[in-house]
Amino acid sequence: MKHSFIRDTLVVAKNTFKESVRDKVFYALFAFAFITITFTLFLGSISLSEDVHVIRSLGMAGIYLFSILITVFLGTALMYKEIERRTLYFILSKPVTHAQVVVGKFLGLFASVALSTLGMTAVYLATVLYAGGGFDRLALLAVFFEILELGLLIALSIFFSTFAKPLAGAVYAILVIYIGHSLGMLAAVSEKSGVLAHRFIQVLYYLLPNLEKFNIRDLVLYNQAPSLSATLAVVLYAAVYATILLCGGTLLLKRREF
């Protein structure tokens, strides 16, 4: 039974991966990211003796930005397209459960997004090396943290796609990303706010994902790295939060009338 569950889930994941890498949005954003990252060479060349620092800063920011865009635009449309095209009826008519569909979709999209992120990272590393910055091994750690965040956001996007249209889902996801990176600032502001505002912000703080846990780009730029225990804590945080979202997405999909 367990073997069958894994096998059927991987079949869904394989098909999702193929569909994702054939998506025009995927190629358009990846191409634009490639151009943007290599363009940092020019920006670095016109800076005053800070060319490598500028290239590293803009390059890592570019990788993160375009990976987020790929994740949001593909993830929020993933389940909705299956429902609209009624292909989900066909999939569920086979011995495939709702959980297998959701987990398979997650794994397939995660693989395609991770592949695109690693592709952009390869371009970034080649750019830094060409500029004389050597092999930026710490950037790989920053990208690893970004991939963890992308996994969480893929789960979030799939969760939204089970009940919202792609545009609405994208707006919801972008809001969560913005707030998720501003929770520390909001917590500080809440201390000076009224009782109701303070309680509302506290609810957001504990309910929404704290995405700043995954942001170590500033550390990497100054050749610092988080400890092993901090890294493992972030891995666990991403895994638990993504699991909760996937379980929620599965429940919502089961409740939906087809």
Q: DSSP string of 197-253?
A: HHHHHHHHHHHS--GGGG--HHHHHTT----HHHHHHHHHHHHHHHHHHHHHHHHHH
Q: Helix H segments across 131-227?
A: 137-161, 166-180, 183-190, 195-207, 217-221
Contacts 24+ apart (CB under 8 A), 226-231: 226/141, 231/145
The two three-digit tokens of residue 93, written as one number = 């008519």
Query: What is the pLDDT at residue 246?
Result: 95
For 67-102, write each residue's pLDDT tens digit.
998 899 888 888 877 777 777 767 776 778 888 889
pLDDT digits (tens, 9 = 90+) for 149-199: 999 999 999 999 888 888 899 999 999 999 899 887 877 777 777 777 777
Residue 183's domain comprises 2-255
Q: What does the mean pLDDT of the chain come to?
A: 84
Q: Measured between alpha carbons, how far is 138 from 227 in angstroms, rounded to an integer? A: 13
H or E element, residue 127 = helix 98-130
pLDDT number for residue 48: 55
Decide if pLDDT at 41 tops 70.
no
Tally of domains in the chain: 1
Name the band, by pLDDT with cuts 50, 70 and 90, for residue 216. Answer: very high
pTM for the complete prediction?
0.87
**By percentage, how much of the chain surpasses pLDDT 90?**
32
Q: Which residue has the higher pLDDT, 106 or 196?
A: 106
pLDDT the model gives residue 141? 95
Write out pLDDT tens, residues 44-73. Answer: 666 555 677 888 888 888 889 889 988 998
pLDDT at 47: 59
